[in-house]
Amino acid sequence: MITFDGVTKRYADGTVAVDHLSLEVPTGEITVFVGPSGCGKTTSLRMINRMIDATEGRILLDGVDVKTIDPPTLRRGIGYVIQQAGLFPHRKIVDNVATVPHLLGWDRKKARDRAMELLERVGLDLKLADRYPFQLSGGQQQRVGVARALAADPPVLLMDEPFSAVDPIVRASLQEELLRLQAELNKTIVFVTHDIDEAVKLGDRVAVLRVGGHLAQLDAPSTLLARPADDFVREFLGRDRGIRRLSFVTDEGVRLRTDLTVPASAEISSVRDTAEPWLAVVDEENRPLGWVSVKDLPESGTLADARPAPYGTFVRGRDSLRAALDATLLSPSRSAIAVDDSGRVEGVATREALDEALDKVAGGAGA
C-alpha cells in the first residue's frame, strides 16, 4: 500500500504544486490520478519514487517512509513508465528491457531471458528483440516501456501518461493490454492521465485533483460517475457522464426476443408476411450474419441471397449496457444482437427493451 499523509510540495518561488494531499493507494489495484493541467498529478506520482521530494508530510510504502530509503535503491524496486517510453536509443530492445536486472546484478543470460519473456507477455513479436527503438512504432515502443518497468518484477508500477502520445486505436489496444497484464500480475499501480475516459476504464479507484494539488474526490469509477462530490468534479466529468456510467451497468435487465432470428437457409417466402420490419439472419451454427429488411427482400430464394446488412453485437452477461446501446448504433434495425461467449446468438435486444433498461437506471441514478 502507498499512503500519502498530508503531503505538500512547495517550490522555492512559493508555487504550491500539491497541497496537503492525503489518500491511500491499495495494494494490487490501479489508482488513477486525473485532473486538469496544474493539479499536481505528475508531481504526486514522482514524489513516490523520489524523483521529487515532498516539502511536508510523508509518503509511506508499505508503512515505510520513502524518505528513509536511498533513492537509487527505491527506484530499482519501482517500475516507471513515461510518455514516449524513454528507451535508450543506442541499445537493442532486449537490452533496454534487461536494464534493471543488469543493475541488480543478474547475469547477462538470465536478464535477457527475462526480457524475452516479458516482450512476449506484453504482446510483442520476439523478432523485434534485436531491433533498435527507432525501428519500432510508437505503440510498440510503449509496450517495450511497460516490459522494461516489469523486468525486475517490482510490486509497484508508476505510469505517467504512458499512452497519450499514440493514436486512439493503439491507445485502446494498450489500455486493454494493461488490464490483461494487471489481471495476471496484480501490481500496485499509480497511473496519471488527463483523460477521464481512460481514468474510468483503467482505474479501480480514481482520484480527481483540483488545480493547486487539492484532492476533490477519490472513489471507484462507478461511484464517481453516479455521485460526483461537487460542481468541480461534475464539470470535469463532463455532460456525458451518464453515458460513461452505463459502462458500469450490466445488461442483466435487458429483455431479449428470440423470435427475430431466422436461419440463412430459410426461404424468403416463409418470412415475407411477418409483421416485423427487420430480421436477424444466422448461419447453421447460430452465429449472426446480419440484418435483412423484410420489405426489401427479393422475390425468391433464401435469406442468404438477401445480402444481410451490418450488425452490432454484445456478449450477454459480460458486456455493459453501454456496449448493448453502442451495438444498436451499428445496426440499421436499431436493435442489438446478444451473443454468448462463443459468439452464438442468444436473442435480440430491441431499442424498446434497451429504453426500458435505461429508464430503470435513470430511476435509480444519483446526483
Choose among 344, 273, 277, 338: nearest CA to 311.
Answer: 338
CB atoms within 10 A of CB 69: 15
- The C-alpha cell 528491457 sits at 97
What is the pLDDT, as a whole number, of residue 366? Answer: 46
What is the pLDDT, as a whole number, of residue 226? Answer: 83
Distance between first and last Cα of the chain: 31
Assign domain 2-238 to its CATH architecture. 3-Layer(aba) Sandwich (3.40)
Sign for the CA dihedral angle at 153, 154, 157, 158 comes to negative
Whole-model pTM: value is 0.76
- Residues of the chain predicted below pLDDT 50: 366-367
Assign domain 261-363 to its CATH architecture. Roll (3.10)
Domain boundaries, given as residue ranges, for the chain: 2-238, 261-363
What is the pLDDT, as a whole number, of residue 363? Answer: 63
Q: Torsion-angle region of residue 360: left (phi > 0), alpha (psi -120 to 50) or beta?
A: alpha
